[in-house]
Amino acid sequence: MTDRRTVCSTSELFNAADADIVFRSSDNVVFRIHARNLAVTSGGFPPAGFSSADEIVDLTEEASTLELMFQFVYPRPQSSLEVLGFNELSKLAEAVEKYQIYPAMQLCNIFMTNALPENALGVLEYSMRHGYPSLSNRAAPFVTLERISASLNTVSPTLLRAWIRYYDTWNEKIRHATLTAPSGHKCANWSEYQRKIFFALGELTGIKNDVSIAAVITVPHFASICCKDDAARWHQNFSKKISDASMPPALYH
Ligand SMILES: [Zn+2]
């Protein structure tokens, strides 16, 4: 809380002379903010330990994140979040959750949702940490074994534990796909179609998204209508079973 570090600069946007709280980013940029604005827009300010208006409050976020975040505590036009890369967006999303900047929380949530499927692992971390279970379930199918293995050094143990349970459940459902296959189909081509579908499903182990499955449980376009109907039925049953596989509840806190 004491002012020991060199102040490099002051935010151009947040530099009002009559501001009564002074924050400093981790990269030494100062932000002068009106306490009354924080009081009406956020639930997380002032941070624990804050005592006097004369002190500079050090925050762990970088200036680029704070500059975006503080825009949401003033009635002013805000920067477009659309132009942010995922890294910047997720830092902002973390900050607005941490300080409970209510006007920005839903917006960040929407943008994080739109960052699927490419940023599935980051979105999954965010959704589990802040308690958005339906977003966790949307992100989880895109977090493949390959993706999570590549990030083993950064992924949280909590996420890893929950994801492994989810991964096991999913693969078990793929193994039991035979149970959802329609039975009693007599026509000559069906057994060959079925064999191909089983084979393709086997290759899906560890790959968990509805799109891949839709592509697999299908018959050629020239197949007879009875085979098309049963493939459609099978696909529907299997998708329903797969949709029951949800991420275990977040164990953070
Ligand atoms: Zn048939």
What is the tens place of the pLDDT at every residue in 111-170? 999 999 899 999 999 999 999 988 998 898 888 888 888 998 899 988 998 888 888 877
* pLDDT, tens digit, 9 for 90 and up, residues 102-111: 989 999 999 9
Task: Measure CA of the first residue to CA of the last residue in the chain; give whole Å.
Answer: 25
CA of 218 to the centre of ligand 1 (A): 12
- Treating both helix axes as pointing N-terminal to C-terminal, what angle do 190-203 and 225-243 enclose, rounded to 10 degrees? 30
**Confidence class for position 46, pLDDT limits 50, 70, 90:** low
CA of 200 to the centre of ligand 1 (A): 19
User: Residue 15 above 80 pLDDT?
Assistant: yes
Mean pLDDT across 36-48: 80
Separation between Cα atoms, residue 204 and residue 211, nearest integer Å: 11
Contact 47, 57 (CB under 8 A): yes
pLDDT, residue 171, reads 76
**Which position has the higher pLDDT, 46 or 11?**
11
Which residue has tokens 């009406």? Answer: 40
Mean pLDDT across 62-85: 93
pLDDT, residue 123, reads 96
CA 112: distance to chain centroid? 6
CA of 187 to the centre of ligand 1 (A): 5
pLDDT, residue 244, reads 64
Q: pLDDT averaged over the chain? A: 84
Separation between Cα atoms, residue 122 and residue 70, nearest integer Å: 23
CA of 217 to the centre of ligand 1 (A): 14
> How many C-beta atoms lie closer than 10 Å to residue 178's C-beta?
11
Residue 115, classified by CB atoms within 10 Å of its CB into exposed (0-12), middle (13-18) or buried (19+), is: buried
Domain residue limits, the chain: 167-243
Closest CA to 95 of 128, 126, 131: 126
Query: What's the token pair of residue 110?
Result: 């929407």
Query: Residue 105: what are its φ and ψ, rounded to 5°?
Result: -65, -50
* pLDDT, tens digit, 9 for 90 and up, residues 184-214: 888 889 989 988 888 887 776 655 565 666 6
DSSP bridge partners of 150:
none
Query: What's the token pair of residue 67?
Result: 């500059």
Question: E strands along 95-139, which residues?
Answer: none
Contact 122, 86 (CB under 8 A): yes
pLDDT, residue 53, reads 54
For the chain, give the percent of residues with pLDDT over 70: 83
pLDDT, residue 112, reads 97
Element (DSSP H or E) covering residue 87: helix 86-98
CA of 201 to the centre of ligand 1 (A): 20
CA of 184 to the centre of ligand 1 (A): 10
CA atoms within 13 A on the CB side of 105: 14
